[in-house]
Amino acid sequence: MRIIKGLYLSNRFFWGCALIVILFCASFLLPSLFVVSQVLLIALVIVTVIDVFFSFSASAKVECERILPEYFSLADENAVTLVVHNRFSFALRMEVYDEIPEQFQERNFKTALKVSSGKSKEIAYKLRPVLRGAYHFGKVNVFVSSGIGLLQYRLQRANEVTVKVYPSILQMRKYELMLSNKTATAYGVRKLRRLGHSYEFEKIKNYVDGDDIRSINWKATCRKDNLMVNQYEDEKSQSVYCVIDKSRSMMLPFDGLSLLDYSINTSLALSNMVLKKDDRMGLITFSNKTETVLKADSKTKQLGLILENLYKEKENHLEANYEHLFLTLNNVVKNRSLIFLFANFESLHAIKRVLGLLRKINQRHLLVLMIFENTEIESYSKQPAESMEDIYLTTIAEKFIHDKYRILQELKNYGIQVVVNKPNDLSVNAINKYMQLKSRGLI
């Protein structure tokens, strides 16, 4: 209960008042208790006045700051830290309420603590956003009370701030580190041996133990009277595009994220890997029409441009228009490129409608179709059927699974590379596929 601006009565005060009322009522039976109740009432008033003085004095010497990262990563645990400082000459009890963004739907984020004189304490917690966009943090409300604890004074500290939630930058860095780590295979990332040679000739050098004897240059060997070998380097500046379907089929949820968000996170991680390999990276998104078109490039700011474009992407409730996509690829992507197409097909009819266009894209480019496995239907189909209704439902689930298998076979019959992914494995599978194709010299 607030008595003046910022000043609230605590539970201790009300318990004291309740005790005085009980003694006053009991004094009708035992008159001697009337004097006791009066003494307690006077004492309560005096102690309350003293507590008011301490509360107002202490409030000016309490500081609180919120430490946030520059941006949040989608679907990752992002650390937030509150630091409370007590500059007062006595220890203070505090209740800290942080006004976290409304997207988390947390209305009572409370932490109680006691801070000694001249000391500081940290309150650390983590937030996992599942939507991209701007997240607004409000004030930090600190309720301060002295050792007496009859009153609480509310302070509002830490400025309001807005933090952007970008596609998972933490995930991007994780996969980058994995590839340079000997334990990368424990996470599913495979380092693949280069098969054969690329066409990028670098130089002729002296043969040393371990060189491929198939690379011996016999003409140079005869001239130098010493074994000489050709040295090659990986082809660079090859074009890779992430093409993302943003139609309603990509709105299916999994573990709090939509399939579109998984595709966006993967596109960022894959883009970083491609640019690290000195290849050129581009981005195209589409639904009923083509929306984002970022031509492939390897310049320094390309990853930042991809990140900003992915941050702004939104789902579309309309059907995907693959005719628009085909025309866009014809107009924008002039050279043969590696195309990662992130899409979701749940029926054989859906894939047959666009199969002709996918075949035409695959004739001009190297197309890799990244589609999703419906893990919930997969797990449901394996549950025991205990009633007639269960039999019908499990049969329908198995039909969906069979259709997905037929989709896979239909695409492979026409030479289209396709990877069926669980949403959580999408990034690993995409990076592995890129490295596999590059190691085989197909791009």
Q: Are 93 and 145 in contact (CB under 8 A)?
A: yes
CA distance 403 to 347: 6
Which positions ≥6 away from 310 have C-beta within 8 Å?
166, 167, 264, 267, 268, 283
Q: Are 106 and 118 in contact (CB under 8 A)?
A: no
Identify the pLDDT of residue 188. 56
Identify the pLDDT of residue 247. 92
Domain membership of residue 248 as a residue range? 169-193+235-439
How many other CB atoms are there within 10 angstroms of residue 3's CB atom? 12
| Residue 108 in tokens | 């009572």
CA distance 346 to 8: 58
Q: Which residue has the tokens 């992430």?
A: 242
How many other CB atoms are there within 10 angstroms of residue 435's CB atom? 17
Which positions ≥6 away from 232 have C-beta within 8 Å?
197, 198, 199, 200, 201, 202, 215
User: Residue 121 pLDDT more than 50?
Assistant: yes
Considering only CA atoms, which of 165, 314, 156, 340 is closest in space to residue 250?
314
E strands, 158-199, are: 161-166
Identify the pLDDT of residue 16. 75
Across 228-248, average pLDDT? 82
| Residue 186 in tokens | 């424990």
Identify the pLDDT of residue 183. 44
Tell whether 84 and 108 lie within a shared domain: yes
Look at 313 and 25; give whichever has higher pLDDT. Answer: 313
Tell whether 324 and 392 lie within a shared domain: yes
Tell whether 225 and 279 lie within a shared domain: no
Q: Alpha carbon of 145 to those of 57, 235, 315, 408: distances in Å? A: 11, 68, 49, 66
Question: In the predicted model, what is the mean pLDDT of the chain?
Answer: 83
Identify the pLDDT of residue 358. 94
| DSSP H or E stretch at residue 63 | strand 62-67
Across 50-63, average pLDDT? 70
Phi-psi label, residue 75: left if phi above 0, alpha if psi -120 to 50, beta otherwise: left
Band of residue 304 on the pLDDT scale cut at 50, 70, 90: very high
User: Residue 241 pLDDT more than 90?
Assistant: yes
Mean pLDDT lowest among 69-83, 118-132, 187-201, 258-272: 187-201
User: What's the full length of the chain, in residues?
Assistant: 443
Identify the pLDDT of residue 433. 92
Tell whether 102 and 186 lie within a shared domain: no
Mean pLDDT lowest among 42-56, 102-116, 182-196, 393-407: 182-196
Across 179-197, average pLDDT? 50
Give percent above pLDDT 70 in the chain.
87
Tell whether 47 and 20 lie within a shared domain: yes
Band of residue 68 on the pLDDT scale cut at 50, 70, 90: very high
User: Residue 236 pLDDT more than 90?
Assistant: no
Phi, psi dihedrals of residue 353, rounded to the nearest 5°: -65, -30
Look at 22 and 233; give whichever has higher pLDDT. Answer: 22
Look at 377 and 331; give whichever has higher pLDDT. Answer: 331
Tell whether 340 and 205 lie within a shared domain: no
User: Is the pTM for the entire model greater than 0.85?
Assistant: no
CA distance 354 to 357: 5
Task: Please report which residue ranges of 60-123 form alpha helices under DSSP H.
Answer: none
Identify the pLDDT of residue 87. 85
Per residue in 77-97, pLDDT (tens digit) is 999 999 999 888 888 888 898
CATH number at residue 361: 3.40.50.410
Give percent above pLDDT 90 in the chain.
35
Of 148, 166, 184, the residue at which a domain comes to its end is 166
Band of residue 259 on the pLDDT scale cut at 50, 70, 90: very high
CATH number at residue 68: 2.60.40.10
| Residue 431 in tokens | 């990076």
Tell whether 129 and 162 lie within a shared domain: yes
Identify the pLDDT of residue 125. 92
Q: Find residue 8's DSSP bridge partners.
A: 2, 152
Across 262-277, average pLDDT? 93
**What is the total count of domains within the chain?**
3
CA distance 172 to 178: 10
Tell whether 161 and 250 lie within a shared domain: no
Tell whether 211 and 323 lie within a shared domain: no
Tell whether 144 and 72 lie within a shared domain: yes
Tell whether 309 and 296 lie within a shared domain: yes
Identify the pLDDT of residue 200. 56
Task: Please report which residue ranges of 193-317 form alpha helices under DSSP H.
Answer: 218-224, 259-276, 302-312
Identify the pLDDT of residue 182. 46
Q: Are 264 and 310 in contact (CB under 8 A)?
A: yes
Identify the pLDDT of residue 440. 76
Identify the pLDDT of residue 246. 94
User: Residue 3 pLDDT more than 60?
Assistant: no
Phi, psi dihedrals of residue 250, rounded to the nearest 5°: -95, 10
Identify the pLDDT of residue 58. 64
Tell whether 135 and 118 lie within a shared domain: yes
Considering only CA atoms, which of 156, 98, 152 is closest in space to residue 127?
98
